[in-house]
Amino acid sequence: MWPCLEKAGALAALVAVAAAQNSEARFRGRRLSQNSSDPALECGGLELVQNEECREPVLWAAGGGKWDPAAASWYQNMESIAGVSHTQANAADYQRLFYCAPPGGKWCGLPPCSGCSSPPCLDCFAGNQLYAKQRPGCAANDTSVGCVPPETAMGYKGKHWPTTEITGINEMHIFLIGDWGGLDGSLDTAENRPEMIAYDWGRQPGPSVFPRSRWNKPHTERLCGHKQFVECFNTRGAPPCIPDCGYVEGVDDQPQLLVAEAFKERAALVDPQYILNVGDNFYWGGIEKTCGTPMNQISYPTKHQFDQIFEGVYQGPGLSEKPWFSVLGNHDWGGFKFDNGWDQQLSYTWFSDRWVLPAPYYKTTIVYKDLDFDVDYYFLDSNFMDAMPPEEDPSHNMCSSKNNNPDATCESTGGSESVENCPHWLFGGIRVELLGEGTLC
């Protein structure tokens, strides 16, 4: 995607400029180290080893590539991330873009410390970091579970989410949904993650599909494998798509949207009071970011995926502003990993006015005041069933040594400290802690 720079002198000059823009910040006490490979670095110049992969495309873009006829498409996220158009952006702005949402996948491991057009340069929202905030109706000094996020993702495990009171004597309705979240093919993934694109035309706004397989009705014979199904998506059902895949254009290519339309149509008729969401909210592996983002912050992938897969899909009369009481599915933990951004789905509880997922385990009560009854809900996480010894079943094992990095950890946010500890943490640790605290029972 990126033409090579023909003159080494031009590359060296731009490296020098970018390095100068960042030199000042090295002395401001940002946990910065003289060791360029220090994992504690929060920001740094293009000359550092963490930015080796993105250095050439960043400097090419800033040095003239931004005038390429296709540049507006390549750098379409520049305005929202750096607060400046792609034609006005400097090298620090392009480094910021390639840190937050790298077009073409050449990720910058560090954002710039200074020199960007809309400081501070470390966030991905043009200097306006998104924060998980105090929810509506909370007093300014209220720090309870229903008002502010916890210090770590497990801080509210087993706690009671504030009781909801529903008035009226009319017929009441509850909607239930699960396994609904598609792929966000329009997200430029960071951290050297693969794009969430399963077929040739999967880079589009809104949810796209992960074509898995097709079986007969008793589920005893597989009729169409994943690769064959992808081929049907690529050709939109035309040959060489095999008939056994049963691909139907207009159905298979937009299942989440079709279900959502039925959901909205029914909601407009019966006005449900709330939605129970049983998980698998984002395919393939939940929020495409490593766990550990501070609980009071919303990351760029989190905002992008929620906008494309949730907020932009489930709106309308009877749905907007209704609470979604949610749990995590195995895909939300990471599918066959345990260190994806599951904690960010919890954080979103205090960014949204309707998403409710304060912990993997929690409870709440719905009081139907005028009908004189109430309902206690217990939201449990059964994903320990997909937490096997690391060497087993890499296709379904969240603790897989094949798919998790050897140094994978979510310890900073209260999760598993290692791949080896993962099965115990998911199967034993959470359950023992919860029962020991006596909060759910």
Q: What is the pLDDT of residues 359-389, one digit of tens each?
A: 999 999 999 999 999 999 999 999 999 999 9
Dig out the tokens for 73 from the structure. Answer: 């498409």
* pLDDT over 60 at 6, yes or no: no
Torsion of CA 75, 42, 425, 422, to 10 degrees: 60
Residues 6+ apart with CB under 8 A from 438: none
pLDDT at residue 22 greater than cutoff 70: no
Query: 335 and 404 in contact (C-beta within 8 Å)?
Result: no
Please determine, for residue 1, whether its predicted confidence score (pLDDT) is greater than 60. no
Instruction: Give Cα separations from 14 to 3, 110, 335 (angstroms).
Output: 16, 17, 41
Q: Compute how many other C-beta atoms are within 10 angstroms of the C-beta atom of residue 278.
A: 16
| pLDDT for 137 | 85
Cα dihedral 283, 284, 290, 295, rounded to 10, equals 20
Name the residue with higher pLDDT: 1 or 373: 373
The whole-number pLDDT of residue 39 equals: 58
Least confident of 36-40, 351-355, 357-361: 36-40
One-letter amino acid identity for 371?
Answer: L
Beta-bridge partners for 165: 367
Per-residue model confidence (pLDDT) at position 26: 37
Q: What is the band of 305 on the pLDDT scale with cuts at 50, 70, 90?
A: very high
Tell me what pLDDT residue 24 has.
39
Per residue in 208-247, pLDDT (tens digit) is 999 999 999 999 999 999 999 999 999 999 999 999 999 9
For the beta carbon of residue 394, count every other beta carbon within 10 angstroms.
15
Q: Confidence class of residue 440 from pLDDT cuts 50, 70 and 90? A: low
The residue extents of the domains of the chain are 8-105, 160-186+276-437, 214-245
How much of the chain exceeds pLDDT 70, in percent?
A: 88
pLDDT exceeds cutoff 70 at 68: yes
The pLDDT-based confidence of 40 (bands split at 50, 70, 90) is confident
CB 58 within 8 A of CB 82: no
Q: Which of 239-243, 247-251, 436-440 has the lowest mean pLDDT?
A: 436-440
Collapsing DSSP states into helix, strand and coil, what is residue 376? strand
Q: Once rounded to an integer, what is the mean pLDDT over residues 294-313?
A: 98
113's CB contacts (< 8 A; 6+ apart) are 22, 24, 25, 26, 28, 30, 32, 43, 44, 45, 121, 122
- How far apart CA 342 and CA 296 sit, in angstroms, is 14
The partner residues of 177 in beta bridges, in order of sequence, read 277
Q: Is the CB of residue 178 less than 8 Å from the CB of residue 256?
A: no
Per-residue pLDDT for 35 more than 80? Answer: no
| Residue from 430, 102, 113 nearest 288 by CA | 102
Measured at the alpha carbon of residue 212, what is the angle toward residues 208 and 215, in degrees to the nearest 5? 135
> In terms of Cα–Cα distance, which of 137, 119, 117 is closest to 128?
119
* Pairwise CA distance, residues 277 & 355, whole Å: 10
The rounded percent of the chain whose pLDDT value lies above 90 is: 85
- The rounded mean pLDDT for the chain is 90
pLDDT beyond 80 at 334: yes
Over residues 324-343, the mean pLDDT reads: 97
CA distance 98 to 113: 14
How do residues 167-208 score in pLDDT, each as one tens digit? 999 999 999 999 999 999 999 999 999 999 999 999 999 999
- The residue with greater pLDDT, 37 or 268, is 268
Stretch among 38-42, 274-278, 313-317 having the lowest mean pLDDT: 38-42
Dihedral, CA atoms, 21, 24, 29, 34, nearest 10 degrees? 80
CA–CA distance, 203 with 248 (Å, rounded to integer) = 20
What's residue 261's pLDDT? 97
- Which residue would you say has higher pLDDT here, 440 or 378? 378
Across the range 34-41, mean pLDDT stands at 56
